[in-house]
Structure 1
Amino acid sequence: MEQNEMIYIVPHNEEEYLLLEDNDILNKVDFVLVAAKVENGKDKKETNRKRYLRKVREKGFRIMRKEDNHNLYFGIQAREEIFDKYIQHLKLSERKYDNELKEISKATRIRIINFILWKIRYSTNNGNDNSLNAKNSLRKLLDDGTFKAVFPLHEKCCCRGHEVHGSKEQCWLCKDGNWQKERKLRFEWAEWRCLFKKQPIEEIREYFGERIALYFAWLGWYTTLLIPAAICGVIVVLYGFIYFESNQVSKEICNGTGIIMCPLCDKRCQYWRLNETCSYAKITQLFDHEGTVVFAMFMAIWATVFLELWKRARARSVCSWDLYHWDEDEEELALGLLYNPDIKVKEYHHSYKRTTIVMLLACILITVIIGLSLGIVICRVIAAVTFTKSGSEFLSDHARSIAVMVGAVLHFFTILIMTKINRKVAKKLCDLEGPRTALARENNFSVKMFTFQFFTMFSSIVYIAFFLGRINGHPNGYVRIAGQWRLEECHPSGCMTDLFIQMAVVMILKQILSSCVQYAVPSLKYQWKKYNKKNTDNDVMDATTKHWVKNYNLNHVDSFSLFNEFLEMAIQYGFTTIFVAAFPLAPLLAFLNNLFEIRLDARKMLVLQKRPIPRKAKDIGIWVRLLEVVGVLAVIGNGLVISITSDFIPRLVYKYGYGPCAFGNSSNVNCMMGYVNSSLSVFYVENFKQTDPKDDGLKSLGFQVTYCRYRDYRTVDEYKYTVQFWHIFAARLAFLILFENIVICIKYIVAWFVPDTPTSVRNHNLQKTFMRLQKELELSREIPSYSNTNAWKYQSTDV
């Protein structure tokens, strides 16, 4: 302790702060409340602050005061009697197997103190308890500016750049024998050199609590199991590379110089040759082949295996933490009784009226989100027409690809804007529901926010996957937006590349920018606060005050901070599983992102943010159910992508029904020869309406175009669907039903085959229950029953 270090403790019956030198008290400060200095004497805020602090002191807390040039800092230290009562209330979760009391961890201390601080109500009538008002709480003092912040303290060893006696190495030698834990978190978890090291989950739990520890355990488990998925995705793409040049479909497209295609837009749009989409066709064949079907089935099963194995890993962890039978309601009731033995139980309630209103408002927002997706579709159409008519040879030749990129970027910016709107609406809907507990509110918020974000992320992708090129009509009968712009068409090689580009742009931009923003913004805010304080702080501040001020300058953290991390990973999980058939590299990108995400989150929580309030938990909550829903959607989505978006089924029908090898005919030619020609319908240009485009005659070729081709299966005269179309439609439907039923059956078999709880954990809990019942039976034998006691009294009287 430095010579000038001053520690102030609020006396029980005095308003002034007296000097006290006590190192042990100072080192055990758990919370800090920050208030602005009052320059013009006493005011209402200062009076309310003193009243609140007096109530805090009456609850058994010590209060220490520090200050700098701008703020007052009140350190809160709890007496041990409070934690003894807590242990008595929750014997099951806070005792060892031998029934001895555990030592209260720092995370548990912080959680208990936080609960009490927010429950305390102060009087506004000269200390008269009869004037206690539910509104006079810490929340009111924070809202009106009486207190600027309230937060638990980080350990000194975990703060970046903190030095003890000028030596960074001595920072590891913290007091109370906890230096190993802090050193492991700061130097063996949050450093980039630990990228491939196992996370110290036990130390994370002791420092941040079970909820955050389970998040990092889940994230680590998810990242590990992404390795086989990423390898399989890379194999699928490599398989496409092997047949990159020899694929018959792409060969026919690249050699189709004599096939003239109908214009892609109206007014001044020219006819074009089929071979102009050669590059597009080759890229499509990289992931639109037979291996994609197997990979889609693998990923649907992988999603189930991942969740089942995670449940087993979670069971082992919570069993080792004595939280397997822990209950949230019991914890809440115990803390409430600890604060006030006469507290009333807040009961559950359900309002059908409120629920109906919430559902209607949620549907309205979802409708708006779908409307925005349709707006992006219109922008894509307009962009394609604009680039085609731009006069630039490069833009006109690549108008379609550029329009797809523009649509993907617009989709990304729509995601950024709608995320903020979705968050506000979800909070309002949760307030309207009025859930009973903070956990119930968080679960409700998570479901709503995930639903809104899911539609925001995937509505545009759903259009490209299942509607693009299928509702655009045909020449002389195109479907138009507002009677003006024609809907987009698929390339002759299919729409898989459009979906691939959309997925790649959104996923890459979202992951890279989200990771950068999530780390860069808190870092810049912290550096800005640090720079502003540099010239104004008092150089004579003692080490303790500097540590408190440093914690105050860290970025704010609340109960939704961890929610943001879960939401980001859940959306990523959706990209990795639902449309993975169109983007086999999604697991690889997710794996690489998560390697850095773990360290970014670790550094952010330890270095850039205030210490979060530790929370107990025995699982990751509602997110398991949401991930299970995503797993089911993965089966449906991949089945639809292969049967509708991909050309796998049309190629299969042609190969065995219309091609040179149909009906088992032996032939030396490639069985897919002629496929492209069979997939293109014929339209005679003389049938164009007056408002539709007329050809310039392709003057450079020296001949007049009499007919053009377009991607569809229609007759020449009446534009009705051909027999081949209905065969393909029946095959698509049959494959979809077969694929989804087989995969879902396999998913349920895997879920049944792999128990959620390991046998060792079940036996361990069985032994614990047996030992507890055995001890209770022994105690019951030692205490005479009521009837035996009365009988003994009667016998004594007779004698």
Structure 2
Amino acid sequence: MKLRVCVRLKCLWFYVCPQERRREFEANLEKEGLELETEDKSDSKDHKTYFLKIHAPWNVLAKYADILKIKVPFKESDFPHGREVPLEFLSCPFRLPDSIIHPQPDYFTSPFDKNKVEFFLISDKSTFFPPSTRNRIVYYILAHCPYYSEGRKDREKTGIKRLLSNGTYTAAFPLHDVTRNSEPESERYNLYKHWARFLCFYKEQPLNLISKEICDAEVGGSILMCPLCDKKCPFWKLNSTCLSSWQSHLFDNEGTVFFAIFMGIWVTLFLEFWKRRQARLEYEWDLVDFEEEQQQLQIRPEFEIKCTNRRLNKITQVPFKCARYSLSAATVLFWISLIVACIIGVIAYRLAVYAAFASIIKDPMRRIQLVGRFITPQLATSVTASCINFVIIMILNFFYERVAIWITDLEIPKTHLEYENRLTMKMFLFQFVNYYSSCFYVAFFKGKFVGYPGDYSYMFGKWSKLRNEECDPGGCLIELTTQLVIVMAGKQLWGNIQEIVLGRCCKKEGSRWEQDYILLNFTQLGLFYEYLEMVIQFGFITLFVASFPLAPLLALCNNILEIRVDAWKFTTQFRRPVASKARNIGAWKEILNAVAILSVVTNAFIMAFTSDMIPRMVYLYAISRDKSMKGYISNSLSVYNISQIPKTNMPEENWYDNSTVTCRYRDYRYPPGHMREYDHTMQFWHILAAKMAFIIIMEHVVFVVKFFVAWLIPDVPSDVKARIKRERFLIQEYLHNYEVERLKLQLSASFITEPHSETTLTPDMTLTSDKLEVLSEC
């Protein structure tokens, strides 16, 4: 029975290779006090694999718990257990039963001191340290233990990571709990049954366990529009965009403004309540002030090995690594430039292929086939370009993940926290540009630098013949929505498919260590990619929510599925990860705050420049005589004389009535014959001023509310603050009483052996028996 407990709680396992390094490493592990036990290869399923079991006895656990300053209970909490959410009874259907959660009493905790064992609440040494602490301590020893003999020293030969990389061992991992039906009390079994199943999606997360005028035939059908590209694009009727204009109006309306403002405030509420939840978990999981300990104690073995012979800065005493940082920055800039080049390539594709689609589809209103009425050149170009862009995104992600890890390793960060923060910034910066750059192009650049008939703007100059894209008469918002749907939904779908396909159902044969050995390895960066995925999703539902209000709903559906897929992976497909601690989500918190602030700016600009809301409002309140939208479409389109269109811009075939002498285009310019022919009208400048005023007003309103809400909601709940203060007070009080009692016992023992002698406390201070009573009353 003792061996079974030891195996389940204290062990990591190895598959063994080269003998010399293995012998030295295992000898040094035994010197550290670990107990080793090797399973014979004849007992393994393939009769070739050795499994080395490592046990950590009490003295080793106590020693390293002291070194790592691991917090353990010293007194049961006298605070009433409070919930952060009021009306607790409403959440009962969503909570897991106590028989599954096994709620533990609250304790006040203090860093462990092996010389003051009696101070802590130790009822059973074999279960005092939880499994997470045990495997964390063992892995810390493995990561810092050398594999050279005592007579010679080689700093390069240190740690289990290097032994895994050079083939000495093929795996190192802690064991899972038993998941057989015969032992349903296993935490892993309960997690699989009550968390990983899709039908449990409504349960809590067990964190402690893991336009009408356009469509009118008399209005839109009578307006002839100028060609949207050179040569291949014909003249077309405005009502051919009836469907896309109707779709655009679903999201481009006055209600979208209030929704965008609401989302800007919601982001702040989300982050503030997350901070409160984080503060509560930080206290419950003994992570208060942990970051400072981590910075000082958990130095990466790679830093200790590689930063020994480097020239130090005379002032900061930090090794010079300017060359490495310069190479890292240059690599990041190169890959970001590569993304921008790919986006430019996709834009060039849109410009070149649009003409091809236009020549095939021609004028949708002249097509007899049903498909021709629903597929326009703009839609076909937008969908295919978005799909190509998505494929490029996935390919670049695959390569840059490896490049980011390589250049971060090159910088040799000192601690694990510093390593993760640097990698986080590189990966997020890259993926921000990778995922959002195409959306920024559609939102803020497409249709803004078109020119007008007779003076069009070209992407690479007129020689390229790639005329800048125009937006539909209803605006570019529907194209931005299409881009978001394809990229966001495609990313989520691909991610879930990839996670399911990469998972594998393992055969439940052989010993427990063999079953765990064939599971997938949960790397140190396993959770990093989960955080990255959620933060990118957070950007999609905040930065561009004004163009796609359904994005939050799409994200919610994805997360319900994502949680079940992840739960299934963690409980059935992955080895048990090595326990590690972190006070908070690190650099991700600052990234979320930055995205939240940027989202206010992007949504304000989308509503002002991408949406058609401001021109409509200006027309309604400043132009329209009867205060209605009648005549708005004709007002928003400028007139151009067809005879003045250069031959290079004219279509090869004319599908219009030759009696028509003018065509319309989307802009606010004076008509032909005016003294300021084709210059911008005053209405253009009024609309521009209204857009800028809207941006300033919306940003200030949202920011004022955001900062007020952030000030109003404290980051740390009041009961958590009180618990922390109470715990610190009790640590001082109990430690003082503990030291006094221990000193009294020492003095009493001294008086029994030498009743007339003085007990020396320090070289220059003595304490006699007549002072003992005074001391005990202090």
Aligned to 2:631: 674
1:640 aligns with 2:605: yes
Q: For residues 710-749 of structure 1, what are the alpha-carbon distances to aligned partners after superposition, in whole Å with 9 as ceiling and x for unaligned?
A: 1011123442211111000011011111111111111111
Shift of 1:404: 0.5
Shift of 1:35: 2.7
TM-score (norm 2): 0.81
Aligned to 2:392: 414
Q: 1:722 to 1:562 in 2, by over 3 A?
A: same
Q: Which moved more, 1:587-596 or 1:653-662?
A: 653-662
TM-score (norm 1): 0.79
Contact 2:454 / 2:644 at 8 angstroms: preserved in 1?
Answer: yes
1:504 aligns with 2:485: yes
Q: For residues 408-427 of structure 1, what are the alpha-carbon distances to aligned partners after superposition, in whole Å with 9 as ceiling and x for unaligned?
A: 11121111011122212322
**Separation of aligned partners in 1, 2:485 and 2:499:** 21
Aligned to 2:433: 455
Shift of 1:792: 7.0
Aligned to 2:596: 631
**Separation of aligned partners in 1, 2:318 and 2:278:** 28
**Separation of aligned partners in 1, 2:735 and 2:544:** 56
1:714 aligns with 2:690: no
Corresponding letter in the other structure for 1:674: G
**Separation of aligned partners in 2, 1:689 and 1:334:** 71
**Separation of aligned partners in 1, 2:218 and 2:407:** 55
In structure 2, the residue corresponding to 1:319 is in which secondary structure?
helix
In structure 2, the residue corresponding to 1:32 is in which secondary structure?
strand
Aligned to 1:388: 358
Q: 1:552 to 1:332 in 2, by over 3 A?
A: farther
**Separation of aligned partners in 2, 1:638 and 1:582:** 8
Aligned to 1:142: 164
Aligned to 1:100: 120
Q: For residues 324-370 of structure 1, what are the alpha-carbon distances to aligned partners after superposition, in whole Å with 9 as ceiling and x for unaligned?
A: 23235358628999xx9xx99x9866756654554343233222212
**Separation of aligned partners in 2, 1:96 and 1:141:** 39
Shift of 1:193: 2.2
What is the 5 A alignment of 1:53-64?
53-64=26-37
Corresponding letter in the other structure for 1:47: E
Aligned to 1:186: 192
Aligned to 1:260: 224
Corresponding letter in the other structure for 1:774: E
What is the 5 A alignment of 1:27-426?
27-28=8-9, 30-35=11-16, 45-66=18-39, 67=41, 68=44, 69=46, 70-89=48-67, 93-97=71-75, 100-101=120-121, 103-123=128-148, 127-135=149-157, 137-157=159-179, 163=180, 168=181, 170-172=182-184, 179=185, 181-204=187-210, 247-248=211-212, 250-251=214-215, 255-330=219-294, 333=297, 354-390=324-360, 393=367, 394=371, 398-426=376-404
Shift of 1:78: 1.5
Q: 1:89 to 1:202 in 2, by over 3 A?
A: same
Decide which of 409, 414, 427 is 2:405's aligned counterpart.
Answer: 427
**Separation of aligned partners in 1, 2:584 and 2:212:** 51
In structure 2, the residue corresponding to 1:312 is in which secondary structure?
helix
Shift of 1:518: 1.5
Decide which of 550, 555, 579 is 1:614's aligned counterpart.
Answer: 579
Q: For residues 142-201 of structure 1, what are the alpha-carbon distances to aligned partners after superposition, in whole Å with 9 as ceiling and x for unaligned?
A: 2232211111111122xxxxx4xxxx3x132xxxxxx25333212111122211111222
The alignment of Structure 1 onto Structure 2 pairs a total of residues equal to 675
**Separation of aligned partners in 1, 2:323 and 2:386:** 40
Aligned to 1:726: 685
**Separation of aligned partners in 2, 1:203 and 1:324:** 20
Contact 1:89 / 1:334 at 8 angstroms: preserved in 2?
Answer: no
Q: 1:548 to 1:748 in 2, by over 3 A?
A: same
Shift of 1:781: 6.9
Contact 1:55 / 1:122 at 8 angstroms: preserved in 2?
Answer: yes
Aligned to 2:712: 753
**Separation of aligned partners in 1, 2:3 and 2:430:** 53
**Separation of aligned partners in 1, 2:217 and 2:556:** 35
Q: For residues 106-126 of structure 1, what are the alpha-carbon distances to aligned partners after superposition, in whole Å with 9 as ceiling and x for unaligned?
A: 011111111111211122xxx
Contact 2:232 / 2:355 at 8 angstroms: preserved in 1?
Answer: no
Q: For residues 430-479 of structure 1, what are the alpha-carbon distances to aligned partners after superposition, in whole Å with 9 as ceiling and x for unaligned?
A: 22332111121011101110110001000010000011111121111112
Shift of 1:140: 3.2
In structure 2, the residue corresponding to 1:421 is in which secondary structure?
helix
Q: 1:188 to 1:460 in 2, by over 3 A?
A: same
**Separation of aligned partners in 2, 1:395 and 1:430:** 52
Contact 2:10 / 2:135 at 8 angstroms: preserved in 1?
Answer: no
In structure 2, the residue corresponding to 1:761 is in which secondary structure?
helix
In structure 2, the residue corresponding to 1:485 is in which secondary structure?
coil
Q: Which moved more, 1:248-257 or 1:111-120?
A: 248-257
Decide which of 498, 518, 521 is 2:502's aligned counterpart.
Answer: 521
Contact 2:361 / 2:376 at 8 angstroms: preserved in 1?
Answer: no
**Separation of aligned partners in 2, 1:621 and 1:719:** 55
The answer for unaligned runs of 5 or more in structure 2 is 77-118, 123-127, 744-759, 772-778
Q: 1:255 to 1:336 in 2, by over 3 A?
A: closer
What is the 5 A alignment of 1:779-794?
789=765
In structure 1, the residue corresponding to 2:584 is in which secondary structure?
coil
Q: For residues 581-624 of structure 1, what are the alpha-carbon distances to aligned partners after superposition, in whole Å with 9 as ceiling and x for unaligned?
A: 00000010111111111111111111111111111122222211
Aligned to 2:449: 471
**Separation of aligned partners in 2, 1:203 and 1:136:** 33
Q: 1:65 to 1:696 in 2, by over 3 A?
A: same
Aligned to 2:101: none
**Separation of aligned partners in 2, 1:48 and 1:87:** 28
Shift of 1:692: 1.8
In structure 1, the residue corresponding to 2:71 is in which secondary structure?
helix
**Separation of aligned partners in 1, 2:183 and 2:488:** 41
Aligned to 1:735: 694
Q: For residues 38-88 of structure 1, what are the alpha-carbon distances to aligned partners after superposition, in whole Å with 9 as ceiling and x for unaligned?
A: xxxxxxx22222222222222222222233323222122222211112333
**Separation of aligned partners in 2, 1:561 and 1:253:** 58
Q: 1:203 to 1:24 in 2, by over 3 A?
A: closer
**Separation of aligned partners in 1, 2:459 and 2:472:** 20
**Separation of aligned partners in 1, 2:330 and 2:213:** 48
Shift of 1:383: 2.2
Contact 2:290 / 2:583 at 8 angstroms: preserved in 1?
Answer: yes
1:559 aligns with 2:541: no
Contact 1:422 / 1:453 at 8 angstroms: preserved in 2?
Answer: no
**Separation of aligned partners in 1, 2:631 and 2:648:** 34
Q: 1:268 to 1:365 in 2, by over 3 A?
A: closer
**Separation of aligned partners in 1, 2:553 and 2:372:** 32
Q: 1:598 to 1:438 in 2, by over 3 A?
A: same
The answer for unaligned runs of 5 or more in structure 1 is 2-20, 37-44, 158-162, 173-178, 205-246, 535-542, 663-670
Aligned to 2:544: 579
**Separation of aligned partners in 2, 1:402 and 1:440:** 46
The two structures, once aligned, show a CA RMSD in angstroms of 3.0
Q: 1:748 to 1:27 in 2, by over 3 A?
A: closer
Contact 1:281 / 1:493 at 8 angstroms: preserved in 2?
Answer: yes
Shift of 1:311: 0.8
